[in-house]
Amino acid sequence: MSIENVVTIMLFGAYNSIEQFLRYNDVKKRGLRRRTKKKIGLVALSIGVGFLMTVIIPIWGWIIAAGAGLIYCGWYLIEHHK
């Protein structure tokens, strides 16, 4: 990339300095940027929370409901025992 391109990009306000431009491009070539890693983490967190809310919590809800039903049946049998 030539210095003319760098100056052109700087004029449009994309970068504050040539050093920032060069630093940005070096980081981009090395691997994922911090912002990209945060986005990937947010996606993983969303999937985890969605899984928790759709699978784990309803299962525990059904277990609690079944336990309450068994307790009710037990009290009913004790009260109506001859």
Per the CB < 8 A criterion, the answer to whether 21 and 15 are in contact is yes
Q: Residue 79, CB half-sphere, CA atoms under 13 Å: how many?
A: 6
Q: How far is CA 40 from the centre of its chain?
A: 7
pLDDT of residue 10 exceeding 50, the answer is: no
The confidence score (pLDDT) of residue 11 equals 52
What is the CA angle 70-71-77, rounded to 5? 90
pLDDT at 12 over 60: no
Whole-model pTM: value is 0.40
Read off the tokens for 59.
């299962």
pLDDT digits (tens, 9 = 90+) for 19-77: 666 666 665 555 667 778 888 888 889 998 888 888 888 888 889 999 999 999 999 99
Beta-carbon contacts of 21 under 8 Å, excluding residues fewer than 6 positions away, are: 6, 9, 10, 14, 15
7 has pLDDT over 90? no
